[in-house]
Amino acid sequence: MPNVPTDPAPDLPVVARFEIRRRRYLDENGALMRPLPDSLAAPESITPLYRAMVLARTLDAKCVALNRQSRLGTYATAYGQEAVPIGVASAMRAGDVLVPSYRENAALIWRGVGIDEVLSYYAGSERGSDWAGPAHDFPTSITVGGHALHAAGAAYALQYRGEARAVACVFGDAATSKGDVYEAFNLAGVWRLPVVFVITNNRWAISTPLAKQTASETLAQKGLAAGIAVEQADGNDVVAVHEAVRIGLDRGRSGGGATLVEALTYRLADHNTADDARRYRDPAEVRAHEHAEPVGRVRRWLESVQAWSDARQAELEAACSAEVEAGVEKLFGAEPEPPSVIFDHLYAEPSAELARQRDAGLRAIAAEREAKRRG
C-alpha cells in the first residue's frame, strides 16, 4: 500500500493481513469477464434489471425537467449510477429492509413504490413517504450518513426477534467521512448484525473529490477495523452489485454478520439540480467515464448474445416514457393538500404554541382567500 509508511522494524511479527477483492462480470464494452452467477446466468434474468435502469434514467431526466419548470424541488439524479440501486434492490427479498439515501429512487420503484409517490416526495408532500412499497422500508434520507445508524438499529431488531431477514443500507462516499457511519460499522461488527452497507463511491462529495476525503486506497477497507466482511464491486456492473449484495444479505440472514460493499461508479451529472459541476470539475474527466456507464454496458452484452435489438430498445424507451408521464399526471392530478398538513405529522400531540401557530396560519389563509373572492 503506497499510503502506508515503510515498516521501521521489519523484525516485528506480522499479526494480521488483509486484502480487498473486486467483483466484476461485465467490462465497459459489455464483454463477459467471468461466468455469470447462477441467478443471473440467462439473458432473460438480466433483462428486467436493464429495463429498470432505463426506467430510472427516464425518470431522472423528467425530474430534472420538472425542476427547471419550478414544478419539482431540488433533485439528485442517479445518472450513470443506475446499477447500484437496481443491483441492491434486485438482490433483496420482500421481507428485507431497505434504508436508502437520496439516489435510490430506482430501488424504491423496484420494491413497489409508485412513480407518482416518488415525485410527490420531491414536490414537497409527505404523502410521498406513505407509499405502496414495503411499509418496513425506510424513507429517503437527505442527512448524509445518519441513516447508517438507523440501519444498524433495524438490523438489531431483526436479530433480536430471531427473524431471517436482513437490512440493506446505501450511502455515498462522503458518508464514510462521518462518525455516524463508523459507529454503525462498529455496532454491526460487534453484534454481528444482519446488515449490508453499500457505499456508492461516485468519486465526488458534491465538489470535494475522493482524494481530498480520504487517504485510504479503498473505501471498502474502512470496514476492516469493524471486523465485518468487505469487498469492492464494479458499481457500473449491475451483475456485480447484485451478486455482492445478495451474498452479503444471505450472510446476514444466516447469522454470519455484516457486510460492507464498496460500489465503484462515477457521477456523470451535477450533484443535484442546485449544483453546477463545471465550476469544480473538468468536463474531460466526465467524458472519460461516459463509456463505462452501466446502461449501455448491459445493452451491449444483451446485443452480443442476440437477446436485444433496436426494435426492442425503441419499444422499451416508449414504455418507460409512458410510465413516467402517467406518474406525472397522477401526481399533478391529485387533490392538493391543505396548508395544515405541515403541522399534522410534526408531533403526536402538538404543543400549545404549535397549535396557536397552526390556527393563526389557517385564519390568515382563510382571510386572504376571502379577500380574493370579494375582488
pLDDT at 126: 82
pLDDT tens sequence across 129-172: 889 999 999 999 999 999 999 999 999 999 999 999 999 999 99
Given a cut of 80, whether residue 195 has pLDDT beyond it is yes
Average pLDDT rounded to a whole number, residues 108-114: 98
pLDDT of the residue at 375: 78
How far is Cα 199 from Cα 259, in angstroms, rounded to an integer? 11
Average pLDDT of 335-363? Answer: 87
Per-domain boundaries in the chain: 22-333, 341-374
Out of 197-211, 217-231, 336-350, least confident range:
336-350
- pLDDT for the residue numbered 137: 98
- Does the structure show a pLDDT above 80 at 5? no
More confident residue, 248 or 5: 248
* Mean of pLDDT values over 62-88: 97
DSSP 72-133: S------TT-THHHHHHHHHS-TTSEEE--SS-HHHHHHTT--HHHHHHHHTT-GGGGS-SS
Position 341 confidence tier, pLDDT thresholds 50, 70, 90: confident
Q: Strand pairing partners for 208?
A: 205
Q: Mark 177-192 as b/e (b = at least 16 C-beta within 10 Å).
A: bbebbbebbbbbbebb
Q: Is 339 or 15 the better-scoring residue by pLDDT?
A: 15
pLDDT at 90 over 60: yes
Res. 10 pLDDT band, cuts 50 70 90: confident
Confidence (pTM): 0.92
3-state secondary structure of 1: coil
Residue 6: burial class (beta carbons within 10 Å; 0-12, 13-18, 19+): exposed
Asked if pLDDT for residue 302 goes beyond 90, the answer is yes
Least confident of 20-29, 269-278, 330-339: 330-339
* Residue 180 pLDDT: 96
- Res. 187: pLDDT tops 70: yes
Query: How many angstroms separate the Cα of 78 from the Cα of each of 26, 101, 220, 268, 273?
Result: 20, 11, 21, 9, 12
Average pLDDT, the chain: 95
Res 2 pLDDT > 60: no
pLDDT, residue 107, reads 98
Per CATH, is 22-333 categorized as 3.40.50.970? yes
For the cut 80, the answer to whether the pLDDT of residue 360 exceeds it is yes
